[in-house]
């Protein structure tokens, strides 16, 4: 059986949980259980038709015997992109470890502040196909670019207001953790100084959280900084399309065809 691996950022935990739950081709899901995967596992068990199998270490993985597509998932902690080399080293390590057990890997990452702009070079020694979500002819810029609909949509909103704080569902769930990881423990005065260039908070709901849930999650954040709250509809389109491409590559591998 050909197995498709996923290495994704914690910020996209809900999107990947819904993606896999909606895919009837999938016959088995195994997740490496660690702190970063908690939200993903919880979401899968709440909404999914398949209960994920949990393993403490990736070396404990063994594929099932069912036909169809089996998926092995590793969720990495969010905000690794704050230090370029940390994201590169963490992703490379995770991909190399997973490559021993799967036929191809799909990444839940974009360029991430250009930390992954030379992804082919970074993963040159990985012996299996590794795919990243593409926006036409280039990788998506980051998690926001993936959900907002691509670079043109991203740029359009930046042109409307340069001081835009983009809030996809994962950001609304984890903003406290992200800020703490990036800035540490700062007092209110310093926090306002750090975010002084931002004028608005743009909520970008897709299908994994309602707008009402996102408003509730960010109410404290937006009120503290006095941000104008606006909304632009997001989409799972790019992620779904690229997941379909990854499954096509997996099918070719299963048939012994070149990818």
Structural domain tally of the chain?
Answer: 2
What pLDDT is recorded for position 58? 95
Domain holding 39: CATH number?
A: 3.40.50
pLDDT attached to residue 79 = 75
Same domain for 130 and 169:
no
The CA distance from 101 to 90, in Å, is 18
For residue 63, count other CB atoms closer than 10 A to its CB.
Answer: 14
> In this structure, are 124 and 245 located in the same domain?
yes
**pLDDT reported for residue 184:** 79
- Is residue 26 located within the same domain as residue 95? yes
Residue 176: inside a domain:
yes
Residue 128 lies in a domain: yes
Specify the pLDDT at position 259: 67
Q: Are residues 27 and 120 in the same domain?
A: yes
Kindly state whether residue 134 falls inside one of the protein's structural domains. yes
Tell whether 203 and 170 lie within a shared domain: yes
Using CA atoms, how far apart are residues 51 and 257, in angstroms rounded to an integer? 32
pLDDT for position 82: 65
Note whether residue 94 is domain-resident: yes
Do both 133 and 165 map to the same domain? no
Instruction: For the beta carbon of residue 35, count every other beta carbon within 10 angstroms.
Output: 9
The pTM assigned to this predicted structure is 0.94
Domain presence at residue 259: no
* Span 144-155, average pLDDT: 96
Owning domain of residue 72: 3-141+236-254
Average pLDDT of the chain?
A: 93
Question: Is 243 part of a structural domain of the chain?
Answer: yes
CB 158 within 8 A of CB 202: no
């Amino acid at each position: 059986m050909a197995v498709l691996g996923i290495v994704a950022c914690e910020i996209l935990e809900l999107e990947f949980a819904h993606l896999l739950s909606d895919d009837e081709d999938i016959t088995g899901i195994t997740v490496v259980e660690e702190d970063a995967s908690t939200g993903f596992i919880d979401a899968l068990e709440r909404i999914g038709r398949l209960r994920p199998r949990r393993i403490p270490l990736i070396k404990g993985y063994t594929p099932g015997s069912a036909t169809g597509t089996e998926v092995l998932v590793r969720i990495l902690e969010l905000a690794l992109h704050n230090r370029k080399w940390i994201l590169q080293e963490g992703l490379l390590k995770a991909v190399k470890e997973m490559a021993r057990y799967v036929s191809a890997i799909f990444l839940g990452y974009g360029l991430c502040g250009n930390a992954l702009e030379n992804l082919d070079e970074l993963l040159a020694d990985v012996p299996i196909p590794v795919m990243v979500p593409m926006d036409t002819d280039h990788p998506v810029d980051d998690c926001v670019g993936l959900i907002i609909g691509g670079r043109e949509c991203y740029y359009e909103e930046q042109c409307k207001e340069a001081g835009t704080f983009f809030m996809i569902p994962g950001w609304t769930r984890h903003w406290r953790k992200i800020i703490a990881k990036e800035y540490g423990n700062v007092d209110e005065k310093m926090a306002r100084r750090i975010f002084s260039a931002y004028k608005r908070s743009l909520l970008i709901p897709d299908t994994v959280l309602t707008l009402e849930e996102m408003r509730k999650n960010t109410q404290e954040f937006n009120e503290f900084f006095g941000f104008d709250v606006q909304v632009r509809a997001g989409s799972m389109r790019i992620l779904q399309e690229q997941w379909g491409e990854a499954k096509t590559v997996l099918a070719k591998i299963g048939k012994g065809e070149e990818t």
